[in-house]
Structure 1
Amino acid sequence: MGTNRAADLKVLRAKEWDGWWDHLIRAFGGGPTSPEERELDRSVTEFDRSLAAWDGDECVGTAGAFSFRLTVPGGASVPAAGVTMVSVAATHRRRGVLTSMMRRQLEDVRALGEPLAVLTASEPAIYGRFGYGAGSFQMHAEIDTSRVTLAVPAGTEDVRLRYRAPLDALAECEAVYAALVPLRPGMLARRPGWERMGLIDPESKREGASALQCVVAERAGEVTGYTRFRTKLGWGPGGHDGTVTVNELNALDPESEAALWRFLFGIDLMTTVIARGRPVDDTWQYQVSDIRRCRPRVRDDCYVRLVDVGEALAARTYQAPVDVVLDVEDAFCPWNSGRWRLSGDPKGASCERTSNPADLALSVRELGASYLGGVPLLTLARAGRVRELRTGALAEASVAFGSPVPPWLPHGF
């Protein structure tokens, strides 16, 4: 393809999926995928929302989206495009392929009436120019359970734990997950088929660890929590040195959650618990005897893009009354640019076009970062990314946009 020749951008057809997918895998390093993973990924692909960029008969770019519903502050479940499978062939860089796919995709999202788009970024530097802001974060930890103890709340002893085959316990575990979705911003309602993603367990990905295991927590005969994990036995000069890797842990009450963590801390022959992708407010942090030996660290996770500023801001509630005019800059989706009056409180909100003077000036990227309530507007202002035009408006809006529960994306896509 010559420098001045644009890629031919088309909606993916089912018969093209294998080549499209092979291109994507190569762009992400070419690691092996099992037949089980490949089949499941194909089964959840939404072909009418998947784009392929072609240079003749060669696929040189991919982009897709899933039709998700995302919990926002206040508990509403809002339609959101889950942007995924984005890649450009290394032979076709700097030719506008990515920009053309991102522009077409956001136009399609708008046409479908979805006010939000979200993604997880393999390279965070890419997506800011398309209006995405880091709106939620996740915690990773490596807990030295040979030296860290856990103080659990009263009532934990009333919780019964049982091993269950992961597939056999799937329905009960999904019921727990579904009950938690409305309670935290950033959580995704599972679409049909997505419940299987947590059970993918090819031996090639275990790195010497066990097959996937599942333990459920029960109270009064009802499943109130679960964890899925792997164990890997190791030996060192001092004896056993095994590792527990936690894939998922969800619970409906503090006692069930504590019982599951205590179980993971106490598995025989294991001295380390590795937990990735956890909420930044995970309660075990405040129950351990030595947080430093848990080595917690935080990284970016869900990137949020307001596709329709008015609808998105009206879809959530605000934890304090707010009445501000926002002057929004959005060069990539110009239909969002201009002044919007946001009026809201804990019961609801409206957001409409206005000619009134602006109180705050910011880009759509900052709105995305603050939208789920995890990044204060005050912090963004101190970073030089939000300007206060009316004294007091920044503090008012920053408090209102917050969330009492930090946002969390429970799984990638």
Structure 2
Amino acid sequence: MATDLRVLDPAEWDHWYGTLEVAFGGVLETPEKRALMESLTEHERSLGVWDGDQCVGTAGAFSFRLAVPGGALVPAAGVTMVSVAATHRRRGTLTSMMRRQLDDVRTWGESLAVLTASEPAIYGRYGYGAATQELRAEIDTSRVRVSVPEGADGIRLRRAEPHDPAVQEACEAVYAAEVATRPGMLARRPGWERVPVIDGEKVMDGMSALQCVLAERDGEVLGFTLFRNRPEWDKSGPKGTIELQDLYASDPLAYASLWRFVSEIDLTSTLRVRNRPVDDPFQHLVSDVRRCGLTVRDALYVRLVEVGAALEARTYRTPVDVVLEVEDAFCPWNEGRWRLTGDTKGASCERTADEADLILTATELGAAYLGGVSLASLARAARVREARPGALAEASTAFTSDLAPWLPHGF
């Protein structure tokens, strides 16, 4: 029987989302989380594939604005909730959804699409490149100390109720102020402030409910942390673990004070950190970075839907004038040569008949777009070819970002 690919009808959401849950292992969300996800789903930007009355494929696209080098917040489709039923694998279902979705994103006037991948091998063939990494740590707080700079005495730490709307508003304001300072962060629409405080299955896995501590100076909230405590004891005594979810601060003293707080909570000896930028300053505050168990993994994947508009939307660290020959079989409107000129003030990217300086695919361009993956590194992997001597060094330096790009949360 032929399948039917169509925009999601709100009345079909429950069945559609149930298909997604089964595809990701069949563990059902809590009613609270499910209700929140239904409220955040943009039905007109979501697709379902149906075989008769059964949903066998899902894909959505949130309306985000993505911070890019230079501080601009660029409209981007946050590709999400993508699944294919196990009964319908290898039938082109995913490709048909990706084809329709990128065509839709283009008609919406959004030059970027971004996603987090359940498996890294899936999305390269659709032009998505791994553009950010996340830093993970498991810190032995029985042996590692966090230093706090002079002047931190003026920072007040205060426990707060994370579900209090006023607390959520204050925390969201701190987050929002950070967005434009680091590429890869997402400007969130109303409702997203509830996502970090939804308690799911972790609460039933030996952890405490979510806890919140605010960092204030003269009554102004400068930062916050959200975390859970997993108490544990053995015959030698307490050995609990703090599971850090979020920590943001607009002030270096508030930032250091919050890190010291989560590393010195009584009856704990481990601080587990799941997602931080790879250049996170806590690495310069700890007494022994070797005992922090640092690892990195891929995070945000970026797809340039409209090459010219996307490259014009960001700025460049140093002056650049290069002709990029882009190979893009999945979005053929991007194929061809583009002259990129730009600096710290702005950029222009237009089609040209001039000879190519660099040759690369849309996947490599997506990987390098936020400034965290260097074109020079990709060239050493034979994924970028230099046609004009010197062009690689020029472009690679120009594309870099002062701060490592970072996606602070999934979607």
Give TM-score, length-normalised by structure 2. 0.98
Letter aligned with residue 397 of structure 2: V
* 3-state secondary structure, aligned to 1:183: coil
Gaps of 5+ in 1: none
> Is residue 288 of structure 1 aligned with residue 281 of structure 2?
no
Instruction: Tell me the equivalent position of 1:144.
Output: 140
Deviation of 1:33 (Å)? 1.1
The CA distance in 1 between the partners of 2:282 and 2:148, in whole Å, is 9
Which consecutive residues of structure 2, in runs of 5 or more, have no partner in the other structure?
none
Quote the offset at 1:220 in angstroms: 2.1
* Structure 2 residue aligned with 1:155: 151
Deviations 1:312-364 (A, max 9, x none): 00000000000000000000000000000000000000000000111000000
2:17 maps to which residue? Answer: 21
Letter matched to residue 327 of structure 1: E
The 3-state SS of whatever aligns with 1:288 is: coil
Report what 2:205 is aligned to.
Answer: 207
Instruction: Name 1:298's counterpart in structure 2.
Output: 296
User: Could you list the per-position Cα deviations for residues 195-217 of structure 1 after superposition, in whole angstroms to 9, with x for gaps in the alignment?
Assistant: 10011014664411111110000
Q: Of 355, 358, 372, which residue of structure 1 is paired with 2:356?
A: 358
Report what 2:67 is aligned to. Answer: 71
Match of 1:98 among 90, 94, 101: 94
1:4-403 correspondence runs (5 A)? 5=2, 7-168=3-164, 169-202=167-200, 205-403=203-401
Instruction: State the secondary structure of the residue aligned to 1:362.
Output: strand
> Aligned with 1:122: secondary structure?
coil
C-alpha distance in 1, partners of 2:289/2:223? 24
Amino acid corresponding to residue 67 of structure 2 in structure 1: T
Q: Distance in 2 between matches of 1:35 and 1:12?
A: 21
Q: Deviations over 1:69-119 (max 9, x none)?
A: 000000000000000011111111111100000000000000000000000
Aligned residues: 409
Inter-partner Cα distance in structure 2 for 1:288 and 1:94: 48
2:240, 2:264 → 1: CA distance?
A: 11
1:149 deviates by 1.0
* Cα distance, 1:291 vs structure 2: 1.2
Output the CA distance in 1 between the equivalents of 2:358 and 2:173: 42
2:405 equivalent in structure 1:
407
Range that drifts further, 99-108 or 276-285: 276-285
Q: Amino acid of the residue matched to residue 141 of structure 1?
A: A
Extract structure 1 runs of 4+ deviating beyond 3 A: 202-206
Task: Classify 1:399/1:204 alpha carbon distance in 2 versus 1 (closer, same or farther; 3 Å).
Answer: closer
Counterpart residue identity of residue 326, structure 1? L
Q: Deviations over 1:272-319 (max 9, x none)?
A: 011111111111111111112110100000000000000000000000
Alignment partner of 1:274: what SS?
strand
Instruction: From the superposition, tell whether residues 343 and 94 of structure 1 become closer, same or farther in structure 2 (CA, over 3 Å).
Output: same
What amino acid is aligned across from residue 243 of structure 1 in structure 2? Answer: T
Alpha-carbon distance in structure 2 between the residues aligned to 1:208 and 1:32: 19
Aligned partners of 1:203 and 1:211 also within 8 Å: no
Q: Which segment is superposed worse, 395-404 or 55-64?
A: 55-64
Does the CA-based 8 Å contact 2:49-2:55 persist in structure 1? yes
Are 2:131 and 2:373, in contact at CA under 8 Å, matched by a contact in 1? yes
1: CA distance, partners of 2:231 / 2:178 = 33
Inter-CA distance 203–89: structure 2 relative to 1 (3 Å threshold):
closer
The answer to whether the 8 Å contact 1:331/1:337 transfers is: yes
SS in structure 2 at match of 1:355: coil
